[in-house]
């Protein structure tokens, strides 16, 4: 970590701030750990100046829903804030555990924990949401699995609504998906895998939306991966339901055929879907139905992934590749760059009530500087930790040059 006790000027870059609408060549001034100015005024003589000509300067990424707080991986990926899922050991179902989790990334990354919806994430007894909120929880989450009981989910949403806490749901019917490792269909049948129908997601999304409508809670569906479920989200929004939807790059870029050869690195949760569903996800990103793009960072050990497909642990490392994979959507014309950066920073920051996601004066100096066009190939030797990714070997463009948290340069190349 390189401290910057004197003012810092990021000079001559394309400064994009989705929160304010700024997009143009400018100088970004940083002092006292905050953004102090943005414009074409020359930096003061005593400021440290970094030439950002040809680079993009944007708010540090806010990764909404990670399962491990890997500080070095976040720095390499331009992530300055991470919303931590409650699936830890032990689960974050107690205010003391929530308070402890807030500090696990210091001083390298801001970690914002979600409290477990139920004790032990067992889907039965509600956790103490009010005390967890006072301890620093920015929302409440069901974890890697959905809650089977509609009664428990209804009580959870009503309780969370009284504190105006976001409920983050893993929307899959747990009874239908209990032993499944792939999406039902001809492809998985040929591989002989245990499957669940794609409508397992639709059933869960329909229930969550109806309960959210009844309780008035703010609902975030962490991943919506099917066309049918996305149609339900659109309809609910039109009725005024307070719902947001997220996705990871994997479900926007890959379909079930990636399982060929029983590639265990492609065992994800939710599982990869058919091509029609993938295209529906891309359309939903483009039209704003899906407003948050997150890494789903859930790295597993080589031992856990190099197993027969059905025995391999679901999950992938995603922090280091989040920006570059997001930029493929810009290259494909799905999103313009400011809209991508909004989905990676401004929108999740607003959803969880976090400082950050903005370069307006007075905001925390959390910044990512990147070369939008720099080519590289995703490879395990680039990663900071566990290297399991279904994108191994994929050529991409977009390299993080600097990650700045609170005015301190934490990563630079």
Residue 386's pLDDT is 67
pTM of the model: 0.96
Residue carrying structure tokens 């029983």: 262
* Residue numbers in the chain where pLDDT is lower than 50: 3
In the chain the domains, ranked by start, together with CATH numbers, are 8-57+363-412 (2.30.40.10), 60-351 (3.20.20.140)
Where b means 16+ CB within 10 Å and e means fewer, 219-233 reads bbbbbbbbbbbbebb
What is the per-residue pLDDT across 190-246, written as a single tens digit (0 to 9) for each? 999 999 999 999 999 999 999 999 999 999 999 999 999 999 999 999 999 999 999
The DSSP string of 319-348 is TTTHHHHHHHHHHTTSS-HHHHHIIIIIHH
Query: What distance in Å separates the CA atoms of residue 360 and residue 370, rounded to the nearest whole number?
Result: 19
What are phi and psi for residue 228, nearest 5 degrees? -65, -45
In Å, what is the CA distance from 406 to each residue of 74, 341, 359?
15, 19, 12
In Å, what is the CA distance from 79 to each residue of 82, 221, 252, 297?
7, 21, 20, 12
Residue 69's pLDDT is 94
Residue 381's pLDDT is 77
């Amino acid at each position: 970590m390189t401290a910057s006790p004197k003012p810092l000027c990021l000079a001559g870059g394309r400064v994009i701030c989705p929160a304010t609408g700024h997009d143009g060549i400018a100088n970004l001034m940083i002092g006292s750990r905050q953004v102090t100015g943005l414009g074409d005024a020359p930096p003061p003589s005593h400021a440290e100046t970094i030439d950002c000509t040809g680079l993009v300067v944007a708010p540090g990424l806010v990764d909404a829903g990670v399962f491990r707080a890997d500080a070095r991986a976040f720095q390499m990926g331009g992530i300055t804030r991470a919303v931590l899922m409650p699936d830890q050991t032990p689960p974050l179902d107690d205010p003391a555990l929530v308070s402890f989790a807030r500090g696990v990334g210091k001083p390298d990354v801001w970690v914002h924990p979600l409290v477990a919806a139920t004790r032990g994430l067992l889907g039965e007894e509600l956790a103490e949401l009010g005390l967890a909120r006072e301890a620093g929880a920015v929302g409440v989450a069901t974890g890697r699995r959905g809650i089977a009981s509609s009664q428990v989910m209804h009580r959870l949403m009503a309780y969370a609504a009284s504190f105006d806490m976001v409920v983050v749901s893993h929307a899959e019917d747990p009874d239908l998906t209990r032993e499944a490792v792939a999406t039902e269909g001809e492809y998985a049948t040929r591989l002989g895998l245990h499957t669940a129908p794609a409508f397992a997601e639709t059933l869960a999304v329909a229930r969550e939306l109806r309960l959210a409508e009844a309780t008035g809670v703010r609902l975030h569906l962490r991943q919506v991966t099917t066309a049918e479920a996305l149609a339900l989200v659109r309809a609910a929004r039109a009725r005024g339901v307070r719902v947001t939807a997220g996705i990871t790059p994997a479900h926007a870029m890959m379909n079930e055929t990636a399982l060929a050869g029983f590639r265990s690195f492609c065992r994800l949760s939710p599982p990869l879907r058919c091509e029609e569903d993938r295209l529906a996800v891309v359309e939903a990103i483009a039209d704003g139905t899906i407003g948050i793009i997150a890494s789903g960072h859930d790295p597993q050990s080589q031992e856990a992934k190099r197993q027969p497909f059905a025995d391999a642990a679901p999950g992938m490392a995603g922090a280091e590749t989040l920006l570059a994979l997001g930029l493929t959507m810009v290259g494909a014309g799905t999103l313009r760059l400011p809209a991508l950066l909004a989905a990676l920073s401004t929108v999740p920051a607003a959803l969880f009530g976090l400082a950050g996601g903005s370069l307006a004066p007075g905001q925390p100096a959390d910044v990512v500087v990147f070369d939008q066009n720099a080519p590289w190939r995703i490879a395990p030797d680039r990663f900071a930790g566990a290297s399991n990714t279904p994108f191994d070997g994929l050529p991409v463009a977009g390299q993080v040059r600097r990650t700045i948290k609170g005015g301190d340069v934490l990563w630079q190349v």
